[in-house]
Structure 1
Amino acid sequence: MIHDFITTHSGFLIPLAGGFLLDSLLGDPARLPHPIRLFGKMISFCELKFNKGKRRRTKGIAVASILVLLVFGFLYGIQLALHDFPAVKVVINTVFFFYALGNRSLIEEAWKVECRVQKNDLSAARRQLSRIVGRDTSQLSFQQIRTATLETLAENLSDGVVAPLFFYALGGIPLMMAYKMINTLDSMIGYKNDRYNDFGWFAAHILDDGANYVPARLTAFLMISFPPSSRGFHFVHKYASRHSSPNSGYPESALAGILNCRFGGSNTYEGKRVEKPYIGKNYRELTHDDVVKSCIINIRTSLLMLICTLSMYCIFQELTGFSHNFLYFWG
């Protein structure tokens, strides 16, 4: 029975297992060509060309919509074109799956920051942190650096692992990569400043907030459920909705609850002071062990989401009655 299931659904299972394993082993090799970098170049080109003059919001809506549909349509076309070449399609889908995940690279970047903190090299820790956060790091203390690192680990666990897996379960590689385009749009033009307020409004507040609504809450649930953390549940219930983002507060409050610490507070973005509501009340010194524990939580949650992805796929197949061949998404 298990053999029959694996054989029948190999177009879904091989990219899932192979891509996840590749990400766990290799991370994000800088020397390899990367579709997300291509996404970035596409967004930069469109932003320079259209983010000027009047009707910037309308232009932003059009650009974001076209780019997302273009990615989805291109990859859906690949699925159709390779329908009679399942082995080739599985290999290509595995590669795209690998590129869509980013947990190992996230943990590695966070660990590089922590190594510099451990060496008491404040300037190097600030520079390293600036690679993974948008806030100004030039004046941060070691405590603030660790806080920012842990907040980023929590938030990007949702964006970089849980959400891509969630959309893979729903719509295979085309929907997974369409989500990555949405996420890249938000990271590049989703800023609250004069340049992007209008042009990036749709990408940030409609596409990204909407796409991450379920994954962010699912991330928090997985973090605090296995093993159960009553304080984590309490923090999510009490603090998650207070965050300025409708989604980021969920994984961040879950991690703050597990660690029994405090996130949030004052930070500087592009020279402007931004006050974020506190998550938690226990202001304590964050330690090396907190960073280690947070990395373990990320790995554990990723494995749990891998199981959830398979479960979601099975439920979807059962409810719809569609075969994977009919949908062309998985193989």
Structure 2
Amino acid sequence: MHAEHLGFACGAALGFLGDLALGDPRRGHPVAAFGKAAQAVERRLWRDHRGYGALHTLVCAGGAAAGAALLTRAVRPSRAAGVALTAAATWAVLGGTSLGREARAVGGALEAGDLEVARERLPHLCGRDPQALDGQQIARAVVESVAENTSDAVVGALVWGAVAGVPGLVGFRAVNTLDAMVGHKSPRLRRFGWASARLDDVVGWPGARLTAALTVLAGPDRRGALRVARRDAGRHPSPNAGPVEAAFAGALGVRLGGTLAYAGRVEHRPVLGGGNRPVEVADIERAVRLSRRVSLLALGTAVAARTVGSLCSRAITAGITSRRSSR
């Protein structure tokens, strides 16, 4: 295996283990620092205009990816430094452990019958109005959030890490963070956040499809996951959340979707997994465990894909060199 790609494999695995062991720190997280910087740029650039929103996206996401590329070039002479940078970047962009912790915290409150605590914790996972939800609806929201964030917080980042190394990891997390900050349809951000939302749809596309495929492989009901993903994925308004949530619904044998409430706005989404039973509190733990299995498979897939890509690239380069020398 080429040294650079062996370094990616080791660094990605170390970063993944770091996330398993440590999760996200409560203070000083690099993603939080990026968010503060993006807010400062937003304050200077905001206009009710798509062009200014595109500029905001370019400055923030492009700047983050460019900075990562410069760091990658700076450490290239040292194999150990390259592994350390990849490990640090992977740990910084992954959020699987914190996702599971927050989901289990809400599930624990629901099991204890403490609906108020569950409502207090739910905003750590999603932007829904917790006061409008009962216990069953909160459990459903948690399972949906675990499904979607398995793609956004883990698999998507690993996909782009396999494609572009550290700049891919950092760039994907930057775009995903910008979408969470300005990509929603509030009156103030409808135009300004358009570019971030559309770019997030584009960069999230491959990770969402891989997440759905791995959910079919890792889920307790493979046939159910495949059936519901094929039938219902396109019904969801999000091109990326649809395949993932549908696959989770089928794998877990539950019904997702329906009426959702967001800070004064109500959405009526199609049901995913129609005919399955409603979500129960115990399904939160099942969803977290499925998310962990999918994440591990995604790590292996990313490492394998980067290795195969390296071998193919070297074979093509060797073939071109051989043809040139034979002339």
Q: Same fold (TM over 0.5)?
A: yes
**C-alpha distance in structure 2 between counterparts of 1:76 and 1:315, whole Å:** 22
SS in 1 for 2:52: helix
2:173 aligns with 180
1:24 aligns with 20
Q: Which moved more, 1:162-171 or 1:276-285?
A: 276-285
Instruction: Looking at secondary structure, tell me which structure has more helix per residue.
Output: 2
Query: 1:260, 1:282 within 8 Å by CA — same for their partners in 2?
Result: no
Query: 2:4, 2:79 within 8 Å by CA — same for their partners in 1?
Result: no
Q: 1:210 aligned to 194, 202, 216, which one?
A: 202
The answer as to 2:130 corresponding to 1:137 is yes
**C-alpha distance in structure 1 between counterparts of 2:315 and 2:193, whole Å:** 37
SS in 2 for 1:186: helix
Q: 2:32 aligned to 32, 37, 46, which one?
A: 37
Q: 1:314 aligned to 289, 294, 307, which one?
A: 307
- Aligned ranges for residues 130-169 of structure 1 at < 5 Å? 130-169=123-162
Q: 1:191 aligned to 177, 184, 191, which one?
A: 184
The answer as to 2:166 corresponding to 1:170 is no
Query: 1:219, 1:251 within 8 Å by CA — same for their partners in 2?
Result: yes
**C-alpha distance in structure 2 between counterparts of 1:89 and 1:307, whole Å:** 19
- Residue 6 of structure 1: CA displacement? 8.3
**C-alpha distance in structure 2 between counterparts of 1:173 and 1:322, whole Å:** 24
1:221 aligns with 213
SS in 2 for 1:166: helix
Structure 1-normalised TM-score? Answer: 0.91
SS in 1 for 2:268: strand
Structure 1: unaligned runs, 5 residues or longer: 324-331
1:93 aligns with 86
Query: 1:231, 1:257 within 8 Å by CA — same for their partners in 2?
Result: yes
SS in 2 for 1:42: helix
- Aligned ranges for residues 1-331 of structure 1 at < 5 Å? 5=1, 9-31=5-27, 33-52=28-47, 56-205=49-198, 207-226=199-218, 229-282=222-275, 284-321=277-314
- CA gap of 1:6–1:18, structure 2 versus 1, over 3 A, is farther
- Residue 94 of structure 1: CA displacement? 1.2
Structure 2: unaligned runs, 5 residues or longer: 317-327
Query: 1:72, 1:178 within 8 Å by CA — same for their partners in 2?
Result: yes
2:321 aligns with none
Query: 1:169, 1:310 within 8 Å by CA — same for their partners in 2?
Result: yes
- Residue 284 of structure 1: CA displacement? 3.2
- CA gap of 1:261–1:78, structure 2 versus 1, over 3 A, is same
Count of paired positions? 315
- Residue 36 of structure 1: CA displacement? 0.6
SS in 1 for 2:295: helix
**C-alpha distance in structure 1 between counterparts of 2:90 and 2:58, whole Å:** 22
Query: 2:182, 2:193 within 8 Å by CA — same for their partners in 1?
Result: yes
Query: 2:224, 2:251 within 8 Å by CA — same for their partners in 1?
Result: yes
**C-alpha distance in structure 2 between counterparts of 1:311 and 1:87, whole Å:** 21
Output one character per residue of 1:195-247: Cα deviation in whole Å (capped at 9) or x when no partner.
11100001102x10000111101100100123561111111111101101011
Output one character per residue of 1:101-134: Cα deviation in whole Å (capped at 9) or x when no partner.
1101000000000000011001110111121111
Structure 2-normalised TM-score? Answer: 0.92
**C-alpha distance in structure 2 between counterparts of 1:112 and 1:27, whole Å:** 14
**C-alpha distance in structure 2 between counterparts of 1:272 and 1:299, whole Å:** 32
Query: 1:19, 1:98 within 8 Å by CA — same for their partners in 2?
Result: yes
